[in-house]
Structure 1
Amino acid sequence: MTEDTQQRIIGVIPAAGQGSRFQQQTPKQYLQIHGASVLEHSINALRSHPNVAAVVIAVQAPEHLLQQFPQLQQPDIHCVSGGSTRAASVLAGVEAALRLDATHVLVHDAARPCLPQAALQRLLNEGLAAKDGAILALPVADTIKRGNSQKQITASVARENLWRAQTPQLFGASTLAQALRKVGTDNPLITDEASAIEACGGSPLLVLGSEQNIKLTYPEDLALVSWYLTHQQEGQQQ
């Protein structure tokens, strides 16, 4: 992909959450792995692409973050105050990106540090031309069961045309900001950015993601994240 001077792509990373499912005092995005925090690895995955002009991080306390990680004080990294929900943090980040003249935003999870550059390139190649934006996703391969409150199976769900959403998710910056304002940042049905676009009548494109693009959710995920980061770093050195 050649750089288009009319397109200015800025990454947005909501990082104000506490990660309750991770069951540790330290929020998972601040855990140290391979010489850097999970958050820094996620930031660098976006910054490594030449078409990403800057990255905005939405956190609870921007000043504290910069004191804790002085290496984030780079001219292309910007910190803003996040909100009480993911959507509120994303909106704060997108609004900051708009002030930085973004035409498009790449919203990426703070806890997805292993994003392969090939998957990001696919998203940009296909998503920039998509009217309603695009997301990385993987087709569901497992058998899916629906259960009740007693954890009993009530039905098997056909997996045809089912996908697991990943990030980054790519949208026009002003389009995403308008969608989030319209549906409300405290709306429990808005679990990712694509769902906000969908609620406003859009149909984002599904772009093939990567199994390496794992989200750090549970403590047992750490070993796999470490393995993928090692594999990627060794590949860069070759």
Structure 2
Amino acid sequence: MPKQYRIVAGRDLLHYTLAAFDACNEFSQTLVVIAPDDNHFDARRFGGLRFAVRRCGGASRQASVYNGLAALAEFGATDDDWVLVHDAARPGITPALIRALVESLRDDPVGGIMALPVADTLKRVAPKDPAAPGAHIARTESRDGLWQAQTPQMFRIGMLRTAIERARQDGHDLTDEASAIEWLGHAPRLVQGSLRNFKVTYPEDFALAEAILSRPAE
């Protein structure tokens, strides 16, 4: 089962993201983009929350976001409107974090993302030696000036669509929206995020998500 539908602290993982955005009246629409063949999504499991669903997910994140931007036009969205893109696998997002991002960026000419300064020591892995087991360190990288990207990522619809089109034309399939905006030559702004807004990636992450989501957000 896709991780966004796994039960954590009594709810589907996706529920926590939908509830956080539902609590923010600043948004005219919350759109969930799922794959055309997604047989796990059941809107009844999210009763009482305001959102729309479109089965327009693509083969990559970049494609899914691009298709989602097109779908937003059905709800009257224009190129000058802001859009926030969020990973369903980050259930720790809160209304307070969302509002902090919006307030920080609403007058920014480009937009930006939620992020955290890198705290861990970073190691560059040496090219794999077929005769040697495991990975080996090539060197230690400086973490000065490095931030870990999170979501939501907030940009104008028109600028983001153009950025994705440019990246695609240049043969790139980028892993976040800020990378596409950078590809256009812009410098997105960084807004301080939170450790609770981590991405559920590994099996052991579900236990951490359970612990975080079982208690009220501060």
TM tier, smaller: 0.7 to 0.9
Q: Secondary structure at the match of 1:54?
A: coil
Q: Give the corresponding residue for 1:56.
A: 31
Distance 1:55 1:166, change over 3 A: same
How many residues matched?
208
Could you tell me which residue of structure 2 aligns to residue 202 of structure 1? 186
Q: Structure 1 residue 112: deviation in Å?
A: 0.6
Deviation track 1:157-207 (CA, whole Å, cap 9, x = no partner) reads 111110000000001111111211221199555110000000011110000
Matched, 1:232 2:216: yes
Residue in 1 aligned with 2:51? 77
Q: Which has the larger radius of gyration?
A: 2
| Match in the other structure for 1:157 | 141
1:123 aligned residue = 101
Report what 2:163 is aligned to: 179
User: Matched residues, percent identical?
Assistant: 36
The farther-off stretch of 69-78 and 174-183 is 69-78
Cα-to-partner distance string for 1:25-76 (whole Å, 9 max, x where unaligned) = x11011012232111212222221121222111111378455x232447794
Give the TM-score taking structure 2 as reference length: 0.87
Q: 1:75 to 1:34 in 2, by over 3 A?
A: closer
In the alignment, the residues of structure 2 paired with residue 186 and residue 39 of structure 1 have an alpha-carbon distance, to the nearest angstrom, of 33
Distance 1:163 1:141, change over 3 A: same
RMSD of aligned C-alpha atoms?
2.2
Match of residue 190 from structure 1: 174
- The answer to whether the 8 Å contact 1:197/1:204 transfers is yes
What amino acid is aligned across from residue 201 of structure 1 in structure 2? G
Letter in 2 for 1:55: T
Mapping of 1:74-153 within 5 angstroms? 76-80=50-54, 81-102=56-77, 103-150=81-128, 151-153=135-137
Structure 2 residues without counterparts, runs of 5 or longer: 129-134
Distance between the aligned counterparts of 1:169 and 1:48, measured in 2? 18
Distance 1:105 1:202, change over 3 A: same
In structure 2, how many angstroms separate the alpha carbons of the residues matched to 1:69 and 1:98? 22
What code does the residue aligned with 1:128 have? R
Distance change in 2, residues 1:74/1:82 (3 Å): farther
> 1: CA distance between counterparts of 2:7 and 2:44?
15
The one-letter amino acid paired with 2:18 is I
Aligned 8 A contact 1:97 1:173 in 2: no
Task: Give the partner amino acid of 2:110.
Answer: D
Distance 2:61 2:167 in 1: 13
